[in-house]
């Protein structure tokens, strides 16, 4: 009797754990980190050299910072049942603005950074107006800036890679405070601010309501257009910050390649985090986990010594597995086959 | 008349329910060959459900569907069509960018050497349309023609696929008089060819003009089957709206005296209208008064509500609140004035199914307060619990997703949302539609209680017994126009039906 009930009890507690929506993304992240540890035995090592913390885990956080930032903005946009394809291009624009300002004018670099963030906000405003007030489908509306944005960035940099030599701007990408690199602080700050903004005010609820049922929200008196505008502007600002980090890191703005395809990584991060592309409920923290999963895979591949030509394919396979793990269909299929197997074994023993 | 009484399409004891709602209960429907049979009833009566059952969109719970006396069980619309049952829906199911001929023969194109024989196809299409006196260039894309022509093409397609039964769902809704005439000529010809035609429409004039027989459904039940020329208009309307309910719901005679008279109207709507949408309408609602809005489906009741609430824009007229003119261009402006509207379609316009009961309750209040004046979670919980208790919303707790509640509880939840926003003027559009009997009675009690507490209410309902029961005054609409305002002793079901049934061109 006790033999029968024990596994059932354990199964129940495990089930309630796996039913938690945070379980699978975190589980996948831990699994990937463990996989990396198997490939590279020093993966979990963290050491302090000259007052600076080094280690693969830190590398993931630093390298992952741009996608983490994008995924925060993207989560809000997707929650309104939208999508923002332009964030990669906004990265190029904001980087170009900051780099050109500090290298060709005498402007205070702090001001240049603020202007660059403002330009990102303007890009978001543009997307938001097209979507919210002109009712253009989000994928089309943001496609416009996705395509034209790199052109705008090229015009700003005059077609060159805009190199600069300003320590303040470079600090955004490579500066260190208390042993930790500055991009990590930016991510934490943005996450906390956005979290407070959406969960300590009504904005989060209103975003979810608009995303889940646009029409009912309108009937309930919610100004959906303003809500959507907010989401796209937030996404633009996040993209601008990501652009500053990427530009500061290499001390140059590459209009063609900065942030290339990162919009897709950001969307993927949001999906891995469990926010539906149909809008509605959103999960900021899990989107960040999703971004870290993507970066962990990339860092793992780089450290494994696998030829770089394998990168994209291996990444795709790992991400596919993560998504399949989350799919209800696959999970039902797995649990059904497990149950059948159990039944068969029980039948054999009896 | 008596030559062909053997029905071509028949249902016996046909039933289906969705969750706790019985959408169709034991319905016997009989369609004869060569007749035009009007299927009538208000929204939610079960017309669409019946059609979806015989065309294989839904699977029946019990009962039989017989075609030519043989039982059929179509599993999807394609199977039904192959058997000879062709529906033509309000939204035309054709491909606008293909040519007329391609649309007619899509899936059954004449072939030659493995390729579509366009010349032969065009010729056949032309010949087919000529039979109905439709002379158009079949080579042009469908979308270049009017809705009427598109509809006729859809019918031609349906009939060409050897239809025995043709189902027309609101075919005339967007047609002008001349186009309706063309459609009717085609229908008469098909009738002469022996096709059985089911016509769903809310234009009663057209029912009397073209149909041979009528079946009336109400709340999922079949009310009766009549020969059109033997059924007077008033009788038809009373069958559709449910006359005999009077016996079950007693009229409250006392409520009238309890209310003070001669007050200044709290809400005054003065000539509010929009061209082609609603003729200018005047109405007033006093404090603590319930005004009923009666009329058939499509008479302009919902339109009136949407104009007042700012969901649809008006191009004339003014709304006064307590004597002050207000300009309402959106629901959020109306809500700021203390208005509230429980919409008719609670699934798409009311409930946000993904959000919890609590979040749905506070939604309108929160929208009213703006982004930053966030209702603390604790207060949200209190509000939700209060509402759950006051309206008897059946839910284990306030954190359950609203989409998982039953229809009646969803209706109460929307009501709760609006009550939480503390409105002064509440518009209810079909508050009791499609909900079970218990919830029905509760909602009526709530309506009365609110009015006793001083709230002004405008209530739209197809249930005349219900309207008569709670309304202090009743405004009757017909053809997007206010035709009467009944008060005092005039507020009876019979009087309302008489007004609705009066010939429109008087």
Paired with B486 in beta bridges are B474
Is A220 close to B373, i.e. CB distance below 8 A? no
DSSP conformational letter for A203? H
Task: Show residues of chain A in contact with B369, CB under 8 Å.
Answer: 202
**Interface membership of B376 toward A (CB under 8 Å):** no
The pLDDT of residue B248 is above 50: no
Taking the CB of residue B187, how many other CB atoms lie within 10 A of it? 21
The pLDDT of residue A131 is above 60: yes
Residue A40's pLDDT is: 85
Task: Show residues of chain B in contact with A234, CB under 8 Å.
Answer: none
Q: Are A92 and A150 in contact (CB under 8 A)?
A: yes
The kind and range of the H/E element at A143 are: helix A138-157
Is B355 close to A205, i.e. CB distance below 8 A? yes
Domain ranges across chain A: 61-285
CB-based contacts of A76, cutoff 8 Å, min separation 6: A194, A198, A207, A230, A231, A234, A235, A282
Per residue in B250-270, pLDDT (tens digit) is: 334 344 444 444 456 899 999
Is B343 close to A203, i.e. CB distance below 8 A? no
Is A219 close to B331, i.e. CB distance below 8 A? yes
CA distance B194 to B80: 18
Cβ pairs A/B, distance under 8 A: 77
Domains of chain B (ranges; CATH) run 7-231 (3.40.50.300), 244-338+424-506 (3.40.50.300), 344-422 (no CATH)
The kind and range of the H/E element at B442 are: helix B437-452
The kind and range of the H/E element at A289 are: helix A284-304
Per residue in B188-222, pLDDT (tens digit) is: 988 998 899 999 887 788 899 999 999 999 888 99
Task: Show residues of chain B in contact with A281, CB under 8 Å.
Answer: 354
A336-345, B391-400, B497-506: least confidently modelled range: B497-506
**Interface membership of B374 toward A (CB under 8 Å):** yes
Per residue in B42-96, pLDDT (tens digit) is: 767 888 889 999 999 899 999 999 999 899 999 988 888 888 898 887 666 788 8
The pLDDT of residue A74 is above 80: yes
Q: Are A182 and A122 in contact (CB under 8 A)?
A: no
Is B417 close to A220, i.e. CB distance below 8 A? yes
| Selection from A155, A291, B389, A344 nearest residue B398 by Cα | B389
Task: Show residues of chain A in contact with B330, CB under 8 Å.
Answer: 223
Is B355 close to A223, i.e. CB distance below 8 A? no
Residue A279's pLDDT is: 92
Question: Mind telling me how many Å the CA of A149 is from chain B's nearest CA?
Answer: 31
What does pLDDT average to over chain B?
85
What does pLDDT average to over chain A?
90
Most confident listed range (A32-41, A287-296, B73-82, B155-164): A287-296
ipTM of the complex: 0.85
Question: Mind telling me how many Å the CA of B35 is from chain A's nearest CA?
Answer: 41
């Amino acid at each position: 009797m006790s033999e029968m009930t024990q596994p059932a009890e354990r199964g129940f507690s495990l089930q309630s754990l796996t039913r938690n929506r945070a379980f699978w993304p975190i589980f996948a992240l831990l699994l990937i980190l463990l996989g990396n540890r198997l490939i590279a035995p020093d993966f979990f090592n963290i050491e302090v050299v000259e007052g600076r913390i080094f280690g693969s885990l830190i590398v993931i956080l630093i390298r992952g910072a741009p996608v983490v930032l994008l995924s925060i903005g993207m989560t809000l946009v997707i929650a309104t049942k939208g999508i923002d394809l332009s964030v990669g291009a906004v990265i190029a624009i904001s980087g170009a603005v900051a780099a050109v300002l500090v290298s060709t004018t005498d402007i205070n670099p702090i001001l240049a950074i603020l202007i660059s963030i403002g330009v990102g906000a303007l890009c978001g405003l543009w997307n938001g107006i097209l979507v919210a007030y002109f009712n253009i489908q989000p994928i089309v509306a943001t496609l416009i800036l996705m395509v034209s944005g790199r052109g705008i960035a090229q015009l700003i940099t005059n077609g060159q890679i805009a190199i600069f030599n300003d320590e303040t701007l470079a600090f955004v990408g490579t500066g260190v405070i208390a042993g930790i690199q500055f991009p990590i602080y930016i991510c934490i700050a943005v996450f906390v601010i956005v979290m407070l903004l959406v969960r300590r005010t009504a904005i989060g609820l209103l975003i979810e309501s608009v995303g889940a049922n646009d029409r009912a929200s309108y009937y309930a008196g919610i100004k959906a257009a303003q809500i959507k505008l907010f989401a796209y502007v937030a996404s633009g600002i996040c993209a601008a910050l990501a652009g500053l980090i990427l530009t500061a890191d290499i001390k140059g703005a590459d209009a063609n390649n900065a942030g290339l395809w990162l919009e897709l990584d950001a969307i993927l991060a949001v999906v891995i985090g469990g926010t539906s592309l149909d809008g509605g409920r959103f999960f900021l923290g899990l989107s960040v986990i999703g971004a870290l999963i993507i970066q962990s895979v990339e860092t793992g591949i780089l450290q494994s010594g696998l030829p770089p030509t394998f990168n994209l394919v291996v990444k795709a396979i790992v991400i596919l597995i993560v998504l399949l793990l989350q799919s209800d269909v696959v999970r039902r299929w797995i649990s059904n086959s497990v149950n059948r197997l159990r039944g068969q074994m029980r039948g054999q023993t009896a | 008349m008596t030559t062909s009484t053997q029905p071509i399409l028949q249902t016996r004891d046909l039933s289906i329910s969705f969750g706790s709602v019985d959408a169709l209960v034991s319905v016997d429907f009989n369609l004869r060959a060569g007749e035009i049979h009007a299927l009538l009833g208000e929204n939610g009566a079960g017309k669409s459900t019946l059609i979806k059952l015989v065309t294989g969109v839904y699977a029946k719970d019990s009962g039989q569907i017989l075609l030519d006396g043989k039982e059929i069980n179509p599993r999807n619309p394609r199977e039904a069509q192959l058997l000879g049952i062709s529906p033509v829906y309000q939204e035309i199911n054709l491909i606008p960018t293909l040519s007329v001929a391609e649309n007619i023969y899509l899936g059954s194109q004449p072939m030659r050497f493995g390729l579509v024989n366009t010349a032969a196809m065009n010729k056949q299409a032309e010949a087919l349309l000529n039979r109905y006196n439709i002379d158009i260039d079949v080579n042009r894309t469908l979308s270049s023609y009017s809705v009427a022509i598109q509809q006729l093409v859809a019918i031609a397609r349906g009939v060409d696929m050897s239809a025995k039964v043709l189902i027309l769902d609101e075919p005339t809704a967007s047609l002008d008089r001349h186009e309706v005439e063309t459609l009717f000529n085609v229908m008469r010809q098909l009738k002469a060819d022996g096709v059985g035609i089911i016509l769903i429409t809310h234009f009663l004039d057209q029912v009397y003009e073209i149909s041979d027989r009528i079946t009336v459904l109400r709340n999922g039940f079949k009310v009766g089957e009549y020969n059109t020329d033997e059924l007077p208009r008033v009788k038809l309307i009373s069958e559709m709206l449910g006359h005999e309910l009077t016996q079950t719901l007693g009229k409250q005679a006392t409520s009238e005296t309890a209310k003070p008279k001669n007050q200044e109207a709290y809400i005054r709507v003065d000539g509010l209208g929009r061209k082609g949408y609603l003729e200018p309408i005047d109405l007033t609602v006093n404090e603590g008064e319930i005004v009923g809005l009666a009329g058939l489906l499509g008479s302009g009741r919902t339109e009136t509500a949407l104009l007042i609430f700012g969901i649809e824009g008006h191009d004339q007229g003014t709304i006064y609140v307590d004597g002050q003119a207000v300009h309402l261009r959106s629901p959020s402006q109306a809500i700021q004035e203390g208005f509230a509207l429980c919409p008719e379609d609670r699934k798409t316009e009311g409930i946000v199914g993904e959000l919890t009961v609590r979040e749905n309750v506070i939604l309108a209040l929160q929208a009213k307060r703006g982004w930053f004046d966030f209702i603390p979670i604790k207060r949200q919980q209190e509000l939700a619990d209060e509402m759950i208790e006051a309206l008897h919303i059946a839910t284990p707790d306030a954190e359950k997703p609203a989409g998982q509640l039953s229809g009646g509880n969803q209706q109460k939840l929307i009501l709760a949302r609006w009550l939480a926003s503390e409105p002064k003027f509440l518009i209810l559009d079909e508050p009791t539609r499609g909900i079970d009997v218990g919830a029905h009675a509760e909602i009526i009690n709530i309506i009365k209680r609110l009015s006793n507490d001083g709230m002004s209410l405008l209530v739209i309902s197809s249930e005349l017994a219900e309207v008569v029961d709670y309304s202090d005054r009743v405004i009757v609409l017909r053809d997007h126009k206010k035709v009467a305002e009944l008060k005092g002793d005039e507020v009876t079901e019979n009087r309302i039906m008489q007004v609705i049934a009066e010939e429109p061109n008087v």
